[in-house]
Amino acid sequence: MSKLYYPNKELAKKANIKSLEQYYALVDEAKNDYEGYWKNFADKKIDWLSPYSKVLDESNKPFYKWFCEGKLNVSNQCIDRHLEKRANQVAILFEGDRGDVQKITYKELSLNVNRFANLLKNKFDIKKGDRVVLYMPMVPEAAYAMLACTRIGAIHSVVFGGFSAEALKDRIEDAGAKLVITADGAYRKGKPYLLKPVVDDATKNGCDSLEAVLVIQRNNEKIEWNKKDHKYNELIKYESDQCPYEIMDSEDPLFLLYTSGSTGKPKGVQHSTAGYILWAQMTMEWTFDFQDGDVFWCTADIGWITGHTYIVYGPLSCGGTTVMFEGVPTYPDSGRAWKMVEEHQITQFYTAPTAIRVLHKLGEDEPSKYNISSLKVLGTVGEPIDPHAWEWYYKVVGGEKCPIVDTWWQTETGGHMITPLPFATPIKPACATLPLPGIMAEVIEKDGTPTPIKEKGYLCITKPWPSMIRTIWGDDERFKKSYFGDCEKNGESVYFSGDGAMIDEDGYITITGRVDDVINVSGHRLGTAELEAAIAEDEHVAEVAVIGTPHSVKGESIFIYVVLKDNANIKDIFIHVNKILARDIGNIAKADDIVKVEGLPKTRSGKIMRRILRTLAKKEEITQDISTLEDPSVVEKIKKALESS
């Protein structure tokens, strides 16, 4: 059994959840009266503009509805309702790549968001339900834009700035966006870089729904100005700083966020208004023990769900101070993050295992050069953390006093699902531990029987929860099939996450990674189907299979098996294929390895057995049954190809 790390008793006295007993009491409350449990929090945490009539509507499964007919506005939740008490408190603490700092108070945030909302309405005729795509660097205007959309009921879809023009175009078209908001560029590692040319490329053909592009001038680099382009910095001056918020229904869509699945193109995960904001706030308070005066830093990009929930919506709905950072934590040196913690007296630091591995590797002793004693809670997200990195994080960054919350969740879940509570849960390293109260996470077999302890099973959520995905934008059938098509319990379909997990004798859950065809590179989800479709564009490629293979920094890296049509040189193919991946998806999709094989292991029905390819790439012995393969002899041939590659 791994060592348990117990919460600090002194700090626990002041915590939002103080003990494991309190945790279990909440778990029981949810079990005994599920709707009553959620009602209690919805009544306390949300400023309802008009009350809801029903907590949970299950009449059209799996299209669940929460807090039916309730009315609210998320920008009110995040801004207006705090103004009386917090007008002069810092809401967003922005630090630029070059060290420039802006402290934006709640009052200033309010004025900026109101002006932005007016600009969207008056100049671009954006109305409730319209889709607005954001392709933005990490600057305060990105948060203003998101909140301005929520203020007027427009649906934002933020596309990560590392995605390519092709990927951006797909998302603009799928969402039917009327407006794209972007920036000329921003700064990274001391130098300006450009974003706007990617938007130009993405929108030069197609994108029929698109009417305009709004450009924020961040670095004033030279860019082309086209017919549809508008200058934010000019236009915003003329807008009023007062804009009433739209009255939104609990179930009105709040935003779309595209993510990869095991098949086909990325899916537009649709979140709703009330359920999402409720859980964003509750998880801030529980998982991070967020309290008045805390300064919270989540290092994710706002292009990912982590940036949505834990840079913008979670901290601001709590009336907190959220740190937003334009740069990278290794510039100008690997002490940058710790310097920022010291300077801004940061209390919670939340990042990905990949970043921890990089910071550890490049600057093992850097944290001790700074006074980082303000830290109270450390967090990780997005991929499994290895015990080695965990230990460094715990000892050197946290000084053996800060609990590490290893938070398991997904774009689809909206907020944390399985995580320690920092001052209640005894922690096991690299273990997500227990489901949050009210979250019915279980490790089961496909038919719903509980998986025996310490064996791998399917990680499912067996009851709907408020911040769950509502549908895939424009594709209800795919939503049902992707999430409710694999597992059931008591004869009813339940949400399957795509992850495998193990439960131990204490009921603690350890995530074992994706069991579907999704790979996780530096915490970024990539579907093997999308990658393979791109690679197959190379004219020499006859067949292709992509797998994820363990990588010491990135967690997983992309490994390609190809069957070629001819005798083309594999090195040339590799260079070309990486160009295609960068063009179609983005630099995050670059592959690390390629190997040429004569055939792929397929079942008689033609399905590629990626599990076998994974085992072979790791140079491990095949233990699974290969007799069901169409041609079992390919396995030996692939082994040889790997040896000589």
Cis peptide before 51 (omega within 30 of 0): no
Token representation of residue 444: 């089961």
Name the residue nearer to ligand WTA (CB basis): 140 or 498. Answer: 498
Contact, 46 vs 27, CB < 8 A?
Answer: no
Residue 552, classed as helix, strand or coil, is coil
CA-CA distance, 211 to 422, in Å (whole number)?
Answer: 47
Minimum distance of ligand WTA from residue 407's CB (angstroms): 5
List the alpha helices (DSSP H) in 176-273: 196-203, 232-235
CA-CA distance, 591 to 225, in Å (whole number)?
Answer: 34
Contact, 148 vs 117, CB < 8 A?
Answer: yes
Name the residue nearer to ligand WTA (CB basis): 236 or 421. Answer: 421
Contact, 438 vs 37, CB < 8 A?
Answer: yes
| CA-based radius of gyration for the chain | 24
Minimum distance of ligand WTA from residue 382's CB (angstroms): 5
Name the residue nearer to ligand WTA (CB basis): 112 or 272. Answer: 272
Fill in the per-residue mask, 236 to 275: x = in contact with ligand WTA (CB under 6 A), - = not in contact. Answer: -----------------------x----------------
383 binds ligand WTA (CB under 6 A): yes
- Footprint of ligand WTA on residues 1-30 (CB under 6 A)? none
Contact, 172 vs 216, CB < 8 A?
Answer: no
Name the residue nearer to ligand WTA (CB basis): 305 or 608. Answer: 305
Stretch that binds ligand WTA, among 115-123, 301-309, 478-486, 632-640 (CB under 6 A): 301-309
Minimum distance of ligand WTA from residue 500's CB (angstroms): 9
Name the residue nearer to ligand WTA (CB basis): 318 or 511. Answer: 511
Using CB positions, name the residue nearest to ligand WTA.
Answer: 411
- Footprint of ligand WTA on residues 305-324 (CB under 6 A)? 305-306
Name the residue nearer to ligand WTA (CB basis): 77 or 259. Answer: 259
- Footprint of ligand WTA on residues 421-480 (CB under 6 A)? 432
> What DSSP state is assigned to residue 50?
B
The two beta strands, 131-135 and 155-158, are parallel
Name the residue nearer to ligand WTA (CB basis): 121 or 525. Answer: 525
CA-CA distance, 524 to 521, in Å (whole number)?
Answer: 5
Stretch that binds ligand WTA, among 59-67, 381-389, 444-452, 637-645 (CB under 6 A): 381-389
CA-CA distance, 322 to 146, in Å (whole number)?
Answer: 15
Minimum distance of ligand WTA from residue 59's CB (angstroms): 28
Contact residue for ligand WTA among 218, 339, 525, 610 (CB under 6 A)? 525
Give DSSP secondary structure letters for 245-305: PPPEETTSEEEEEEE--SSSSPEEEEEESHHHHHHHHHHHHHHS---TT-EEEE-S-TTSH
* Closest alpha carbon to 554 in 306, 388, 304, 357: 357
Name the residue nearer to ligand WTA (CB basis): 181 or 305. Answer: 305
62 binds ligand WTA (CB under 6 A): no
Name the residue nearer to ligand WTA (CB basis): 330 or 410. Answer: 410
- Footprint of ligand WTA on residues 489-508 (CB under 6 A)? 497-499
The kind and range of the H/E element at 110 are: helix 106-124
Name the residue nearer to ligand WTA (CB basis): 144 or 409. Answer: 409
Stretch that binds ligand WTA, among 20-28, 40-48, 84-92, 303-311 (CB under 6 A): 303-311
Residue 4: count other Cβ atoms within 10 Å of its Cβ. 12
Exposure pattern of 225-250 as b/e (b: 16+ CB <10 Å)? eeebbbebeeebeebeeebebbebbb
Name the residue nearer to ligand WTA (CB basis): 381 or 560. Answer: 381
Cα torsion 70, 75, 80, 83: sign: positive
Minimum distance of ligand WTA from residue 433's CB (angstroms): 10
130 binds ligand WTA (CB under 6 A): no
- Footprint of ligand WTA on residues 401-430 (CB under 6 A)? 406-411
CA-CA distance, 538 to 12, in Å (whole number)?
Answer: 58
378 binds ligand WTA (CB under 6 A): no
Which positions lie near ligand WTA, rule CB under 6 A?
Answer: 259, 304-306, 381-384, 406-411, 432, 497-499, 511, 514, 520, 525
